[in-house]
Each structure stands twice: as structure tokens, then as C-alpha cells.
Amino acid sequence: MPTSLAASPAHVLRVFTYKEGLLSTVAHDLRLTLGRWHIDVDDAGSVKGSFFPATLKVDGVMRVGQVDADALSGSNQREIMATVNEKLLQTGRHPEATLVGRVVGEDMRRQFEGTLTLVGRAASITAPVEVTDAFVRVSLELQPTRWGITPYKALMGAIRLQDRVRITLDAPR
């Protein structure tokens, strides 16, 4: 049976960023949530997805596996999102990211194999897909440089983002 998933309180796509560098103790690992996206999977396992990066929202700072929603001021959050939209993801020029591919395998041992197009560049990706009677869960790490995205740096590189982000999708069935 075809499946459609879209952003909602029940269907959540999150992005996690990680800091590094000499002054990384004054920086933050962040959790963001994508506000607008949809994924369609047909009976044959073909997948098509659209994601709108300008709808990312900073949820807060990650501290020992938990999000601290009060750690950043509103102006800090707006500054982060301006950097993400203007410098990193260039959402004015590239308002949509797309995903095409297939889900292969059966039962709990499924995998997505396909292509993610982000900031106008396409690269292959694979990701484990956990499917139960109750939920669908996907978690994968991406290297932004594969799509030509230079990791953010401040203070001449003393604070910077790692060349990895974790993407998670959790959706009840």
C-alpha cells in the first residue's frame, strides 16, 4: 500500500549539528526541526521526497542527549537561521531539496538507496529504515561537503561545525 509522510506533530524530521575547534566549549551542538517536507513511497518501494530547508527551526542546544530550548535567545536563533539560509544552504537560490530512490529489503532489515539533491548538487545516500507495526524510523549522517557546503567557521576556525549532520525521521504508522 502506498505511503505518504509529511511534516506534522506526529511526523518529525530533525537535523543535529556538531561543533568542534579550539573554542568549541563556547559553541553549541544544535537540534533543528524541518517544518515543511513530504515523502511518498509507492507499492514497489520507489521513494520521492521534497524538503524545504528555509522551514528549518532551531529547537535548542543539545546537552547530554536532551534539547535545552531555553539556551539560545531569539536573536541567537535568528542569527543561526540567517547563517543557515544565506551562507550554508542558500535557500534563496535553492528553496527545495529532493530525494529519489528505493527502499529495499523486508521486515525490519530495510534500507533506502538513492540520491539526495541539496543546494543544486546530487549525491548518492543510503540509510537504514526501521519499520515496525507502530512506526517508521530513519537515521543517517551526511557530510555537507559532499554537496559543496563548507562547514561554518567563526573566530578564524577556532569555532566550527563538524563536516557531519545527523538527520532523523520518526513517524508513527
> Is 167's pLDDT higher than 60?
yes
pLDDT tens for each residue of 53-87: 999 999 998 988 899 899 889 988 998 899 889 98
Q: What is the pLDDT of residues 94-118, one digit of tens each?
A: 999 999 999 998 777 789 999 999 9
pTM of the model: 0.88
Distance CA 36, CA 45 (A): 22
Q: Is 173 exposed, middle or buried (0-12, 13-18, 19+ CB in 10 A)?
A: exposed
- Per the model's pLDDT, the better-predicted residue between 54 and 29 turns out to be 54
Q: Which domains does the chain have, with CATH numbers?
A: 3-172 (2.40.128.110)
pLDDT at 150 over 90: no
On the question of pLDDT at 22 being above 50, the answer is no
Centre a 10 Å sphere on the Cβ of residue 14 and count the other Cβ atoms it contains: 17
Per this entry, what is the length of the chain?
173
